[in-house]
Structure 1
Amino acid sequence: MARTKTTPTRRQASAEEASPPVAPEPLAIDEVLRKLESVVAELEGGEIPLEVALERFEVGVRLARQGGQLLDRIEERVEVLLADRDEVAPFAGGDEEDDD
């Protein structure tokens, strides 16, 4: 006969408990900045209770740290890309002409 209620077996339940939680995918720097700006706007608005403000502040601190780490990685990548250049080349774009 058909079951109306399904419950996990002990083996299934223990397997689910044993599996590690999935880590959230890291945010892009633009997303971190957008979320941080939102938190700052909430805090500056002054319309939220103190407990909520403290929680939002904690979120903001985490986002600021994450953003700093992302910027550090971006800076390292730029340094690696430019490491083999001996000198800085002038910007070749634009329509400016030297009249001298």
Structure 2
Amino acid sequence: MAKRELDGAAKKKPSESTASEPKNQDFETSLASLEKIVRELERGDLPLEKSLELFERGVRLSRVCQERLSEAERRVEVLLRDDEGRLVIGNFEDDDEAVEFGGAGRSDTEGEPEEDEDVF
């Protein structure tokens, strides 16, 4: 039985190696790999096992991409804080109109209409 376990370890696929793990790839490489997987799965001509394998890898890549984007967002927010720690977000069309948010994030009521404002 020990021989079988050794044989199983020796047959490890190259795709299972740590070098190709999504966490070792930059965002752009991970996103390109994810897009390729989506195209392959959308063709619909793969065997079930191959489709499941690609889907699992796609989920891992998607999570890595989301982590990278969240990290980038946190870094940008740090850069956009003023001297008093308020988050200052500028309007791309008009830099003179910056929106300030107190605390660590946006207000819960942001984007909601005023009580006496007509919705329709």
TM over 0.5: yes
Tell me which residue corresponds to 2:65.
67
Unaligned ranges ≥5, structure 2? 1-17, 97-120
Counterpart pick for 2:95 among 72, 88, 91 = 91
| Greater relative contact order, per chain length (Cα 8 Å cut-off, separation 6+) | 1
For residue 24 of structure 2, give the secondary structure of its aligned residue in structure 1. Answer: coil
Unaligned ranges ≥5, structure 1? 1-22, 93-100
Tell me which residue corresponds to 2:11.
none
Question: Which residue type is aligned with residue 47 of structure 1?
Answer: D
Cα distance, 1:28 vs structure 2: 1.8
Separation (CA, whole Å) in 2 of partners of 1:26 and 1:74: 17
Q: Which has the higher strand share?
A: 2
For residue 48 of structure 1, give the secondary structure of its aligned residue in structure 2. Answer: coil
- Rg bigger for which structure? 1
Tell me which residue corresponds to 2:28.
30
TM normalised by structure 1 equals 0.61
Cα distance, 1:26 vs structure 2: 2.7
Question: Which residue type is aligned with residue 27 of structure 2?
Answer: I
The percentage of counterpart residues that share the same residue type is 41
Tell me which residue corresponds to 2:43.
45
